[in-house]
Amino acid sequence: MNIPRLHSWKLDYESARLLQIELRSRLVLNSDLTKIETIAGCDVSQNMGTGLFFASAVIMDFNNFKVIEERTAAVEVDFPYIPGLLSFREMPALLKVWELVETIPDVIIVDGQGTIHPRRMGLACHLGLWLNLPTIGCAKKPLCGDFQMPSNERGSCELIRMNEEIIGAVLRTRSGVKPVFVSPGNLIDLDKSMEIVLQAGKYRLPEPIRAAHTAANRARIKMVDS
């Protein structure tokens, strides 16, 4: 992919926080997606104790979840871990791997937050702006917001609010299994995000994220063992 440069990554804490506020105004949180043929998942795995991050992108056929393309990349990162600024640690690695991707997906599910974020600018939002593609945040835990747990049936959900604003949803993707936390990233709305996550496999986590998680870890282990 040819990815236009959106901004610099050499930022301090306050500059990064202010940039998130500015970028939030550029998000498009509605959807004109109709037919989806390809779907992607992406994930980042850190080599613990180092600044080396391994990113993966896996593009799949949305009808049968067969892998069309898989890419991985490694990047040295020096931005510290700060809650709410995760994208400034993981985005450089994700952008490197997306530069290698040849198959442009219709939608991307990110292992992380979209608008379930104090400044409504999680990793999925940030990536969606850089790539100018529809992105969905699907996380195992919420970063912020108030909500009730949904019932145990697959497809049940409860909205997540922050200061009376709806910022995402907690969604049960499999009966009797822990829910996931879904929110739009960019170029999509919450309802469509939940619909796609529910359709994206039979396990708790969407199949593209599962595949991306495996690919990132495989690349990390291969590098460490070599």
pLDDT tens, residue by residue, 88-120: 999 999 999 999 999 999 999 999 999 999 999
Using one digit for the tens of pLDDT, what is the confidence trace for 3-16?
A: 999 999 999 999 99
Whole-angstrom distance, CA of residue 158 vs CA of residue 172: 9
- The answer to whether residue 14 is domain-embedded is no
The answer to whether position 12 is within a domain reads: no
**Pseudo-torsion of CA 184, 77, 4, 209, nearest 10°?**
-40
Number of Cβ atoms within 10 Å of the Cβ of 43: 26
Examine residue 11 and state whether it is found in any structural domain, yes or no: no
Q: Average pLDDT of the chain?
A: 95
> What is the residue range of 85's domain?
22-225
d(CA 169, CA 159): 4
Residue whose pair of structure tokens reads 């929110």 in the numeric block: 183
> What is the reported pTM?
0.96
Q: Is 78 a residue whose pLDDT tops 90?
A: no
62 within some domain: yes
Q: Judge whether 8 lies within some domain.
A: no
Three-class secondary structure of residue 142 per DSSP: coil
Is the four-CA dihedral 69, 75, 81, 84 of positive or negative sign? Answer: negative
The CATH number of the domain where 194 resides is what?
A: 3.30.2170.10
The verdict on residue 7 lying in a domain is no
Answer yes or no: is 46 within a domain: yes
Q: Please report the sign of the dihedral spanned by the C-alpha atoms of residue 157, residue 184, residue 215, residue 9.
A: negative
* Adjacent-strand bridge partners of 136: 109, 184
The helix (run of H) or strand (run of E) holding residue 126 is: helix 123-131
Domains of the chain: total = 1
CA dist 58 and 208 (Å) reads 6
Asked if the structure places residue 106 within a domain, the reply is yes
Read off the pLDDT of each residue in 148-167 and give the average, rounded to a whole number. 97
